[in-house]
């Protein structure tokens, strides 16, 4: 199991001594010497007060943003020096689920699920698309447009899209943030299933202690630095730690 400080080789995504300073007049130090790894077959929640660097950590780990210094490895490849199209190749084993679903309104559900494969120049696998849509409970909705679906259904399309490429790691940026309790639980169940059945790593930013309780581990951030972690967390433990961090 990868931990802070020393990293083992089983991590599918890891950051070593990563610092991110955003350009601009204030020069915000969003991440300050962060070392953390995420193993296959584990579900990690990333929590911390607003502005503590959670999204920045996720974006750097996923290769969507570049750190100012430090190393980032994704599926065994160091991505720091990579440019497109090599970066896209490195992201092949990565799925994303965002708070705002990020579906293309003009494309059908099936086309949305196949879009990452098309963008990566691969032959779209329609059988796989149908398989993952069935898994998220959307069999028969292949030809629907996102606007014809509920918010929970749209997020399940986004999960299906993330799963279609058989990802080694799925990054979620508040994937339940826009959902009600019941549909949020459905999405968390699907992410949990990806970990337990497929051996994927899931890394999820959330503000919700109940969502974090679905994870195997919670990593806390405060002011861009790691502020401890909790294994097999309960919602109560997470909420208590968040109250402490917010009071700092």
Ligand X SMILES: Nc1ncnc2c1ncn2[C@@H]1O[C@H](COP(=O)(O)OP(=O)(O)OP(=O)(O)O)[C@@H](O)[C@H]1O
| Contact by Cβ (8 Å): 129, 113 | yes
# residues contacting ligand X (CB under 6 A): 12
Question: Least Å distance between CB 174 and ligand X?
Answer: 8
**By C-beta, is 107 or 239 nearer to ligand X?**
239
The residue with tokens 């700092």 is: 248
Q: Which of 17, 22, 86, 148 lies at the binding interface for ligand X (CB under 6 A)? A: 22
Q: Is 115 helix (H, G, I), strand (E, B) or coil?
A: helix
Considering only residues 31 through 60, tell me which ones interact with ligand X, judged by CB under 6 A.
48, 50-56
DSSP summary character for residue 176: T
Q: Which of 3, 10, 16, 28 lies at the binding interface for ligand X (CB under 6 A)? A: 28
Cα-trace Rg, the chain: 18
Six token digits for residue 80: 């720091």
Question: Least Å distance between CB 58 and ligand X?
Answer: 8
Considering only residues 67 through 86, tell me which ones interact with ligand X, judged by CB under 6 A.
none
- Considering only 22-30, 95-103, 148-156, 157-165, which stretch makes contact with ligand X by CB under 6 A? 22-30
**By C-beta, is 97 or 113 nearer to ligand X?**
97
Q: Is 135 helix (H, G, I), strand (E, B) or coil?
A: helix
Question: Least Å distance between CB 22 and ligand X?
Answer: 3
**By C-beta, is 30 or 133 nearer to ligand X?**
30
Q: Which of 5, 24, 25, 81 lies at the binding interface for ligand X (CB under 6 A)? A: 24
The answer to whether 99 contacts ligand X (rule: CB under 6 A) is: no
| Contact by Cβ (8 Å): 185, 179 | no
| Contact by Cβ (8 Å): 161, 94 | no
Alpha helices (H) along the chain: 54-61, 86-90, 109-119, 126-135, 151-164, 181-198, 209-212, 235-246
* Inter-axis angle of helices 151-164 and 126-135, nearest 10: 130
Q: Which of 30, 60, 226, 242 lies at the binding interface for ligand X (CB under 6 A)? A: 30
Q: Tell me how crowded residue 152 is: count the other CB atoms within 10 A of its CB.
A: 18
Q: Is 33 helix (H, G, I), strand (E, B) or coil?
A: strand
Binding site for ligand X (CB under 6 A): 22, 24, 28, 30, 48, 50-56
């Amino acid at each position: 199991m990868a931990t802070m400080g020393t990293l083992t080789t089983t991590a599918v995504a890891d950051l070593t001594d990563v610092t991110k300073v955003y350009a601009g007049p204030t020069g915000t130090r969003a991440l300050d010497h962060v070392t953390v790894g995420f193993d296959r077959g584990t579900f990690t929640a990333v929590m911390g007060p607003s502005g503590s660097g959670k999204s920045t950590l996720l974006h750097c780990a996923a290769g969507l943003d570049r750190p100012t210094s430090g190393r980032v490895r994704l599926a065994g490849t160091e991505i720091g020096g990579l440019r497109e199209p090599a970066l896209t190749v490195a992201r092949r084993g990565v799925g994303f689920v965002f708070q705002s679903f990020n579906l293309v309104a003009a494309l059908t559900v099936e086309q949305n699920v196949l879009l990452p494969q098309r963008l990566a120049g691969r032959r779209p696998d329609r059988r796989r698309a149908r398989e993952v849509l069935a898994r998220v409970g959307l069999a028969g909705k292949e030809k629907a447009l996102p606007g014809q679906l509920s918010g929970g259904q749209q997020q399940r399309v986004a999960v299906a899209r993330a799963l279609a490429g058989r990802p080694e790691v799925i990054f979620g940026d508040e994937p339940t943030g826009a959902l009600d309790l019941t549909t949020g639980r459905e999405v968390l169940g699907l992410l949990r299933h990806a970990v337990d059945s497929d051996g994927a790593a899931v890394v999820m930013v959330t503000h919700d202690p109940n969502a974090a309780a679905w994870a195997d581990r919670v990593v806390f951030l405060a002011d861009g630095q790691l502020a401890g972690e909790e294994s097999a967390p309960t919602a109560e433990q997470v909420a208590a730690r968040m109250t402490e961090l917010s009071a700092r």
